[in-house]
Structure 1
């Protein structure tokens, strides 16, 4: 069994489940700017739980998290240099692609960063807000949009999610260490 071939076959199957009716929805989902209301809600919840002083520290940690994740993902993409499915001549004509990024595919920055950010936020807020786990819908929908659009392979998404979860747990541990030194 060739895992790369199976990865391509799974993408073709998932991508071809789409149709023109849903295309505008998934194009909206994949654009980070359309998630600003969610980020504003998270900011509100952070301030409500921690107050302005510690909340500012949390925001700074979130900004560093996103910047680190973005740079790490770019490092991996530029090191691995896996061509995106929309640019892969062996399958691109079997895909429904609505956008055509030219950068590399492995691993998905959308999946990595959204999972990293969301799991970190959940770890921060889980004791204060019972429904905070609903935030997991964000990275799941956000990451799936990349398959729908035919611009990432399932392995790109899966690895991004796993790396995001791992980084979030490590980052939360380090955040708590620093938090205790600063606010104790």
Structure 2
């Protein structure tokens, strides 16, 4: 059963990765770059500051820093614990993977920290800012989906890496929303 799932995952990766075309490569590399979202993060912080004020936004920054740290470290734990090779390091896929950039990343892929972090941030901010903008959560989840898919497009993650990262990131985002609300009440902010 697991072998069938992994075989299907490789086939789906090859299909999705193979859809890439050179004119779109720069766009997907930009989406995949963690620094490309800095304007979005600044925008979210400004909205948060307007809604919550300075002290609560400071607590929010601490919450986000902890959220991303937990998301990253949990991903690293799984990557080294599971030991699944990235598509660009997998000898079975050598020569048939469309690697958009010359650098493949670390040796292991399961699960995607990019997907986990993007979905964690999307769920967190989507929940705490839902009263500020009607479609905030939808837009943030769409952004997270683009970030996640970009990892397949550029050739460094399998679909299962992305799905697992999205699920774990969403769960972590939801948990940190609960912790943030608890802390707001605890410190009367």
Structure 1 residues 55-112: Cα deviation after superposition (integer angstroms, max 9, x where no partner): 1111111111111111111111111111000011111311110231133100000001
Q: 2:146 aligns with which of 122, 141, 146?
A: 141
Q: 2:19 aligns with which of 12, 17, 20?
A: 17
Q: Which runs of 4+ in 1 moved over 6 A?
A: none
Q: Which runs of structure 2 are paired with 1:9-158 in the superposition (5 Å)?
A: 9-99=11-101, 100-133=104-137, 134-158=139-163
Question: Is the 8 Å Cα contact of residues 88 and 94 (structure 2) preserved in structure 1?
Answer: yes
TM-score by length of 1: 0.95
**Aligned position for 1:4:** 6
Structure 1 residues 111-136: Cα deviation after superposition (integer angstroms, max 9, x where no partner): 01110111011111112221212111
Structure 1 residues 30-61: Cα deviation after superposition (integer angstroms, max 9, x where no partner): 11111111111111111111011111111111
In structure 1, C-alpha distance between the alignment counterparts of 2:106 and 2:135, rounded to whole Å = 38
In structure 1, C-alpha distance between the alignment counterparts of 2:106 and 2:187, rounded to whole Å = 43
Count the aligned residue pairs.
184
Question: Is the 8 Å Cα contact of residues 124 and 177 (structure 2) preserved in structure 1?
Answer: yes
In structure 2, C-alpha distance between the alignment counterparts of 1:53 and 1:172, rounded to whole Å = 16
In structure 1, C-alpha distance between the alignment counterparts of 2:180 and 2:37, rounded to whole Å = 25
In structure 2, C-alpha distance between the alignment counterparts of 1:49 and 1:103, rounded to whole Å = 42
Name structure 1 gaps, 5 residues minimum: none
Cα-Cα RMSD: 1.2
In structure 2, C-alpha distance between the alignment counterparts of 1:127 and 1:84, rounded to whole Å = 40
Paired residue secondary structure (1:164): helix
